[in-house]
């Protein structure tokens, strides 16, 4: 992937912070995107661009199990979320709808002003700004196939 702009979020970002409950009247990613992080970082929905990346500390996506949270991030154009750890249900929901996630402890190494590039095949995150490289364990092959298909539904449709 090419150069990506970084948004940083700390530990324990829950799904209600990603998309507040009052905006759950739709499942449409574009409509949800307008309210992503509305209470936590009101500028996010307007300033995030297609291809941007979120880097977070531990336990990203904790809270309720709704798929609206990763859908909102997809709607905004987030290309990947990198965190020290993810809530398990958020992790599976994200993969199932086609949002790539990487578990890597790089929160303290990359700044929000940095630009990065990700090589999913080799398992490397490159900090273009600071010339750093950080390895991560690539997803298992079956999960990567789900992502490459655009999520579980598309994968099943292509398999038929």
Q: What is the pLDDT of residues 19-38, one digit of tens each?
A: 999 999 988 999 999 999 99
Q: Is the pTM of this model over 0.85?
A: yes
* pLDDT value at 124 more than 80: yes
All domains in the chain, ordered by first residue? 4-159 (3.20.19.10)
Q: Quick one: pLDDT at residue 3?
A: 78
d(CA 14, CA 62) in angstroms, rounded, equals 4
Q: Give the CA distances from residue 37 to residues 14, 21, 43, 54, in Å, rounded to whole numbers and listed in that order.
A: 10, 11, 8, 12
């Amino acid at each position: 992937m090419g150069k990506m702009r970084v948004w940083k979020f700390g530990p324990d970002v829950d799904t209600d912070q990603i998309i507040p409950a009052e905006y759950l009247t739709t499942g449409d990613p574009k409509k949800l995107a307008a309210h992503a992080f509305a209470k936590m970082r009101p500028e996010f929905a307007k300033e995030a661009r297609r291809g941007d990346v979120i880097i977070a500390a531990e336990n990203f996506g904790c809270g309720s199990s709704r798929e609206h949270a990763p859908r909102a991030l997809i709607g905004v154009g987030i290309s990947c979320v990198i965190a020290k750890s993810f809530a398990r249900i958020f992790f599976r929901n994200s993969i199932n709808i086609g949002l790539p996630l990487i578990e890597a402890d790089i929160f303290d190494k990359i700044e929000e002003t940095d630009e990065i590039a990700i090589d999913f095949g080799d398992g490397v995150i490159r900090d273009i700004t600071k010339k750093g490289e950080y390895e991560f364990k690539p997803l298992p092959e079956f999960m990567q196939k789900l992502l490459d298909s655009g999520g579980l539904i598309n994968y099943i449709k292509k398999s038929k």
